[in-house]
Amino acid sequence: MAYDKFNILTSTAVPLPIENVDTDQIIPARFLKATERKGFGDNLFRDWRYNQDDSPKKDFVLNDPTYSGKILVGGKNFGSGSSREHAAWAVYDYGFRCVVSSFFADIFRNNCLNIGVLPVQVSADFLQKIFDAIEADPKTELEVGLPEQTITLLSSGESESFEINGYKKNNMMNGFDDIDFLLNIKKDIQTFAANTPL
């Protein structure tokens, strides 16, 4: 399944300054029955977003119209817990294309990269600067540049670099998942196979 190409993303951000956000909070286990990757955004942070009668919790950030954007800024150790792919699906389906944190659980990070969500790991100091800037002005924008692997707080011009696997970077810039990548080099594979003795 091809995804949106990721090059440079400039957007406001939604702050979630909570540490150790686990995948069961991102998408509760009772919503894992679906096999398609659609519809999970409706239940992103379900138990934090809604009361038992399905009314929105006014004090949760996704229900606050003050904040919007394609970037989610989370606290340290984002995506910990179980390895469910559905957590990354929910983040993508809601509309986020980038998650920023000072530390990601490895499996969650890889699941995001597989479906077109860019996990950007920054220093604890820079993360706090982002939170402070958003608190001061919810319209604060971040610029995430995948080609140069930088994230910039546009209000101050401060910037940090981030790491990403070269293969995953190439896939994200082309909008490929792993299967798309193989299909894109199908002719090369066929040529190699034809010229390789058994």
Task: Quick: pLDDT tens for 87-134.
Answer: 999 999 999 999 999 999 999 999 999 889 999 999 999 999 999 999
Output the pLDDT for position 196.
78
CA–CA dist 77, 16 (Å, integer): 12
Q: In this structure, which long-range contacts are made by residues 65-69, counting pairs with CB atoms below 8 Å and at least 24 apart in sequence?
A: 66/138, 67/12, 67/13, 67/14, 67/15, 67/134, 67/138, 68/12, 68/14, 69/11, 69/12, 69/13, 69/14
